[in-house]
Amino acid sequence: MTNIDNLIIAKKKFKSRLIVGTGKYKNMRECAKSVKLSGAEIVTVAVRRVNIIDKKKPLLMDYIDPKKITYLPNTAGCFTSEEALRTLRLAREIGGWKLVKLEVLGDKKTLFPDMIETLKSTEVLSKEGFKVMVYCTDDPLMAKRLENCGASAIMPLAAPIGSGLGIQNQTNIKIIRSQTNLPLIIDAGLGQASDATVAMELGCDGVLVNTAIAKAKDPFKMAVAMKFAVLAGRQSYLSGRINKSIYGSASSPEKGRI
């Protein structure tokens, strides 16, 4: 991979196109090793669930160096715009973070995003100087509205969070890709390495994976698998696939046959 193929988000360059979540691991050591093996340069951190104050409990910063890995504070667990705004403003006060991930959930069962609250939050945060990466539905119209509201990256779900179902609507992802120049990152629902490859082959700029790695029987092997799946998918997309045909096409030349 060359430097010209960097992932660029809010004018910041990243060599890896894999973003890794830090939740659901057995412990922080397992999380840190998985992140290292994945090659990820960005990790998401749920501000509402992270230990910031109690020095007696383990701190994520002791295991994943924020000077080497970009922390992406997110609003996991927020169900209203007010909760999300308060959470990210707190993150900015604590760590000075402006590159953030916004997610405003609609209900506890599906964990689908509430797009009305999400749009409202994106507009406010953008005006306040935040660089907002937004978890959203795979609705192309909503994705375009997010772009118009000032989003820095669009992050449609592949399937419900933690479901492992893979991309359920490839057509919508293709449409979103065709209508935006913003970074397009698949967020939520991937279950295995091949899902990440498919996402990249659709033209996505990256993928965010948490449960698929953290809850795998061997998180370390899955972290490595995701790393190479993203690389393979990206190279496949850039190479330009052959046209599909219902008929066969001989590989050997017709001329010069014995």
Please state, in angstroms and rounded to a whole number, the distance separating the CA atoms of residues 184 and 247: 34
Determine the angle formed by the axes of helices 140-148 and 170-179, rounding to 10 degrees: 30
For residue 43, what is the enclosing H or E element? strand 42-46
Determine the angle formed by the axes of helices 193-201 and 219-239, rounding to 10 degrees: 20
- Residue 185 located in a structural domain: yes
pTM for the whole structure? 0.88
- Residues annotated as catalytic are 101
Give the residue-averaged pLDDT of 69-85: 93
Please state, in angstroms and rounded to a whole number, the distance separating the CA atoms of residues 144 and 142: 5
- Residue 257 located in a structural domain: no
Percent pLDDT > 70 in the chain is 93
Range of the structural domain that residue 29 is part of: 3-239
Residue 254 CB neighbour total at 10 angstroms: 6
Largest CA distance in the chain: 80
- What is residue 53's predicted lDDT score, i.e. its pLDDT? 58
Total domain count, the chain: 1
pLDDT above 60: residue 11: yes
In which band, very low, low, confident or very high, does the pLDDT at 52 lie, cut at 50, 70 and 90?
low
- Residue 126 located in a structural domain: yes
Please state, in angstroms and rounded to a whole number, the distance separating the CA atoms of residues 34 and 73: 19
Q: What is the tens place of the pLDDT at every residue in 154-212?
A: 999 999 999 999 999 999 999 999 999 999 999 999 999 999 999 999 999 999 999 99
Residue 73, helix vs strand vs coil = strand
Phi, psi of 59 (to 5 degrees): -105, 135
- Residue 248 located in a structural domain: no
- Residue 244 located in a structural domain: no
| CATH number for the domain harbouring residue 133 | 3.20.20.70
In which band, very low, low, confident or very high, does the pLDDT at 58 lie, cut at 50, 70 and 90?
confident
In which band, very low, low, confident or very high, does the pLDDT at 49 lie, cut at 50, 70 and 90?
low
Find out whether 122 and 132 touch, Cβ atoms under 8 Å. Answer: yes
Q: What is the tens place of the pLDDT at every residue in 226-239?
A: 999 999 999 999 99
pLDDT above 70: residue 2: no
